[in-house]
Amino acid sequence: MSEPTLQLSAAPVALFDDGLTGTRLRGAGEQPDAVWRAKVHDDEGRVWRAIADSPGALSRAWVPAKSSTGELAAHASLRPVAVEVRVELPDGRALARTVTRSFVGDGVRVRRWRDDLAASLYLPAGEGPFPAAVLDATEGAEAVAVGALAGALLASRGVLSLVVAPPARYAPGAGRAALALAVERVAALPAAADAGGRVPVAAIPPATTDAGTLEAGTFVPVPPGVGVRGAGAGPEAAAARAAAWDALLAALGATPRAA
């Protein structure tokens, strides 16, 4: 009797923070010891790999294939990412496929703020009005990198986001002044839902911060699936960031991630 045909099913295209949710292996029967692997290349050509006992756990298991600098996988271009997925069975059979995960959903617009702020505006598809938020990336380059990924994903999930970078000219209190101005500007946008001028501001802590120690829904973690190295690496830290991300989506009124 011939073995059943193996089938590896996965959403061919999805948002990056959805990871590999819904990926299934069919035709394998009882295979409790299957090994799942994934691989991506970031903007700098670095390879990140993951290995786990289930496809859903792969997005919490990224590690750089070689020692590298920086705490985050480089995805500043916001280009779609090809994720190579492979499952290996104890009987020697294996199956692989490549899927695409995107930071910028269909119809999302990214604009540089050209007025009196160092900021980038991420507009959801459609005319709105949309729930809005200001993302505080004034702490430096890493915060700006996280803000770009988060801003794009939030806009893809229906939240108008303004990511505020460090002021061009530093002065005491310049960051706070920039955030206050950003709230004022966002509240005045026609595409922003009327919240009586109250626009939430979410801070972006360092990637190595333990997300479990911060109040959920008030800060922007590294989005799920983005590789983190060093002190912020590991499945437990990644799971805490994913939970914090889901709490932020709920707090801002964003479309939730795929279950």
Looking at the domain assignment, is residue 4 inside a domain? no
Residues 95 and 134 in one domain: no
pLDDT score for 113: 87
Is residue 243 within 8 A of residue 59, CB to CB? The reply is no
Phi, psi of 152 (to 5 degrees): -65, -45
User: What is the per-residue pLDDT across 12-68, written as a single tens digit (0 to 9) for each?
Assistant: 999 999 999 889 888 776 666 889 999 999 999 999 999 999 999 999 999 998 876
Q: Is the pTM of this model over 0.75?
A: yes
Is residue 91 within 8 A of residue 156, CB to CB? The reply is no
Residues 188 and 222 in one domain: yes
Residue range(s) defining the domain that contains residue 36: 9-102
User: What is the per-residue pLDDT across 63-99, written as a single tens digit (0 to 9) for each?
Assistant: 998 876 678 999 999 999 999 999 999 888 899 999 9
Residues 79 and 114 in one domain: no
Among 28-42, 98-112, 147-161, 242-256, name the one with the lowest average pLDDT.
Answer: 28-42
| Overall size of the chain counted in residues | 259
* pLDDT > 80? residue 174: no
pLDDT score for 6: 82
pLDDT score for 1: 47
| Structural domain count of the chain | 2
Residues 136 and 228 in one domain: yes
User: What is the per-residue pLDDT across 112-149, written as a single tens digit (0 to 9) for each?
Assistant: 987 788 999 999 999 889 999 999 999 989 999 999 99
Residue that the structure tokens 């670095």 belong to: 46
Q: What is the CATH number of the domain that holds 68?
A: 2.60.40.2240
% of residues, the chain, pLDDT over 70: 94
Residues 119 and 247 in one domain: yes
Residues 166 and 187 in one domain: yes
- Measure the CA–CA gap between 220 and 249, rounded to whole angstroms: 10
Q: Taking phi first (over 0 means left), then psi (-120 to 50 degrees means alpha), and beta for anything else, what does residue 45 get?
A: left
Phi, psi of 7 (to 5 degrees): -135, 130
Is residue 159 within 8 A of residue 189, CB to CB? The reply is no
Residues 6+ positions from 120 with CB-CB distance below 8 Å: 110, 111, 112, 113, 147, 148, 151, 162, 163, 165
Residues 40 and 81 in one domain: yes
Looking at the domain assignment, is residue 135 inside a domain? yes
* pLDDT > 80? residue 169: no
Residue where one domain finishes, among candidates 80, 102, 124: 102
Residues 77 and 145 in one domain: no
Query: SS3 sequence, 157-199?
Result: CCCEEEEECCCCCCCCCHHHHHHHHHHHHHHCCCCECCCCCCC
Average of per-residue pLDDT values in the chain: 90
Cβ count within 10 A of residue 15:
22
Higher pLDDT, 231 or 30: 231
Confidence of residue 204 (pLDDT cuts 50, 70, 90): very high
Type of residue found at 34:
A
Residues 189 and 95 in one domain: no
% of residues, the chain, pLDDT over 90: 68
Looking at the domain assignment, is residue 45 inside a domain? yes
pLDDT score for 197: 73
Looking at the domain assignment, is residue 123 inside a domain? yes
* pLDDT > 90? residue 208: no
Residues 52 and 114 in one domain: no
Residues 156 and 202 in one domain: yes
Residues 245 and 134 in one domain: yes
Taking the alpha carbons at both ends of the chain, their separation in whole angstroms is: 37
Residue where one domain finishes, among candidates 102, 119, 150: 102
Higher pLDDT, 170 or 56: 56
